[in-house]
Structure 1
Amino acid sequence: MSLKPFKSIGIGVAYSPNLKANIFEAARLCVFFGSKLFLIHVGEKSEDKIAMLKVILKSFEKDNLEYEVVFKTGKPVDVILSTTEEKKIDLLILGAVQRERFLKYYVGSIARKITRQAKCSVLLLIKPSVERLPCEHIVVNGLKDPKTEQTIKVAFYVAKKLKSEKITIVEEIKQDQISVKVDDDKSLRRANIIKERIRLRENSRINEIISHIPDAYTKNKTIKLQPIFGKKGYSIGHYAQISRADLLVMNAPIKMTFWDRLFPHDIEHILTELPTDVLILQ
């Protein structure tokens, strides 16, 4: 298990009302993970901009935060994506946008394009804060996929570093796995037996993954396994919302194609309406 999945963290810095909160969130994560921070600004370099960033980051001098400011002109999506590759950034932080008059968040067009195309992991923040808000409950996908074991391991790493007490691993199971039409008590019992067998099988698979994680990461954690029958992406997003999770950790899709956008991929359900902060792992 890689003890340091995020050696470098990048964030786009635009001079907006959320600038200080975004930088504080990114800098705090760099301190927790022992990462170098890259501040990416789309535009010309200027001493005034550098001075402003220095003032904001002064609070982190005591933590020996290592950072670099990157200035680059061009289209925001191209600049951020090319910089993440050039600087070998492991985790890119992006802010989400609140819908007007509703307490719901979604990924704006620029952030959505970056999320779909980024070759590194992406953290989507819905409410960046200057003051640290504790991350107490992490929900992570447990779907059967080659990437899932590493995703669960990184979720435990993040939980340890952020001092999160609870991790819920959600196994999303397609409804069509229960190939029984329920129209009487007998068929209902049969469907319930099939559901229970699937639940036991999935829990066994997840427990096997957890058994490979060092005790230092699982110790003193409340670990819950939660099978859910429903639509991938939508089900886990809904669960993260109703369980008041502070962070949702997901696998990145293997490939995003035109058809994935036309017929929503599981991650697209999450991007449409963010239930909480979302970490998408490559």
Structure 2
Amino acid sequence: VLWKSGDPVKQILAACKTEKIDLLIAGALKRENLVNHYLGTIARKILHGANCSILMITRPSVDETPIKNIVVNAEDSPYIDEAIWAACHWKMADSSWIHIVRELKLLGLALAANEHCTEEEYEQRKQQMLQQEIDVVEQKLKAIPNQKHKINIKIVSGKAGFELARFAERKEADLLVMGAPPRRFSFFTRVFPHDQEYIFNDLPCNVLMVQPRKSK
């Protein structure tokens, strides 16, 4: 047990670093108001600054609650493989689902549309791109041994973070798993949001942000 005084965010982040914490568990509000969005809540600052994996609890419960739906963000992180691995090894209820979400690159579709292709050719190109994204996920799943959960691969288009949050809500997800972002956020990203800022601003459910374990 550690007792510290001072700024809670600084003390928590310092403890994670000095104690070489693998997983930090903390509570968080599901939705921030406008002031908290720009100034940053404790939960948001921890998500931005921690150098370990973080489990943010938005639905605290004294009783054990079975996990029936896990959504995995398979985009925008160097730790996608770790996120999928964590989801596949999470203890879940029978007849549960893991939904792995990946983004359809709209730039590729826009370029295809500008190539003066026919509607049929455009649709073929779209289906090819969808299959390519599905193949990426399936290859990652092959590297995970003893994977027994039911898997749904979902390809979304649009603003990835926003679509991910809405998909998690539609599926009534119990847990959203993401790889840690490749860089830290700044005030600039509050005004021009990074995809994961949509998640941090309006947590659709409990969130696990994964980073690789550190050597002791």
TM-score (norm 2): 0.84
1:242 aligns with 2:173: no
User: How far 1:143 sits from its partner (Å)?
Assistant: 2.5
- Which residue number corresponds to residue 280 of structure 1? 209
Aligned alpha-carbon RMSD (Å): 2.4
**Structure 1: which 5+ residue stretches go unaligned?**
1-68, 101-105
Q: Deviations over 1:66-90 (max 9, x none)?
A: xxx1111111011111111122111
User: How far 1:163 sits from its partner (Å)?
Assistant: 4.3
Q: 2:61 aligns with which of 111, 123, 129?
A: 129
1:264 aligns with 2:193: yes
User: How far 1:263 sits from its partner (Å)?
Assistant: 1.5
Q: 2:31, 2:153 → 1: CA distance?
A: 32
User: How far 1:252 sits from its partner (Å)?
Assistant: 1.2
Are the aligned partners of 1:168 and 1:223 in contact in 2 as well (CA < 8 Å)? yes
1:153 aligns with 2:85: yes
1:89 aligns with 2:48: no
- Which residue number corresponds to residue 74 of structure 1? 6
User: How far 1:174 sits from its partner (Å)?
Assistant: 3.1
User: How far 1:144 sits from its partner (Å)?
Assistant: 6.7
Alignment of structure 1 residues 195-274 onto 2, 5 Å: 195-215=126-146, 218-219=147-148, 221-258=149-186, 259-274=188-203
Q: 1:129, 1:251 → 2: CA distance?
A: 25
- Which residue number corresponds to residue 103 of structure 1? none
- Which residue number corresponds to residue 214 of structure 2? none
Among all aligned residue pairs of Structure 1 and Structure 2, give the percentage whose two residues are the same amino acid.
37
Q: 2:76, 2:62 → 1: CA distance?
A: 37
Q: 1:148, 1:98 → 2: CA distance?
A: 24
Are residues 99 and 163 of structure 1, via their aligned partners in 2, closer, same or farther at CA, if it must alter by over 3 Å? closer
User: How far 1:231 sits from its partner (Å)?
Assistant: 1.1
User: How far 1:197 sits from its partner (Å)?
Assistant: 0.4
Report the residue type matching 1:143 in the other structure.
E
Report the residue type matching 2:62 in the other structure.
V
- Which residue number corresponds to residue 170 of structure 1? 101
Deviates more, 1:114-123 or 1:255-264: 255-264
Q: 1:230, 1:136 → 2: CA distance?
A: 26
Q: 1:170, 1:143 → 2: CA distance?
A: 8
Q: 1:234, 1:98 → 2: CA distance?
A: 15
Q: Which has the higher contact order (CA 8 A, sep 6+)?
A: 2
The number of aligned residues is 202
Are residues 189 and 94 of structure 1, via their aligned partners in 2, closer, same or farther at CA, if it must alter by over 3 Å? farther
User: How far 1:99 sits from its partner (Å)?
Assistant: 5.3
User: How far 1:136 sits from its partner (Å)?
Assistant: 0.9
Are the aligned partners of 2:98 and 2:151 in contact in 1 as well (CA < 8 Å)? yes
Are residues 133 and 222 of structure 1, via their aligned partners in 2, closer, same or farther at CA, if it must alter by over 3 Å? same
Q: 2:8, 2:198 → 1: CA distance?
A: 24
Q: 1:281, 1:99 → 2: CA distance?
A: 21
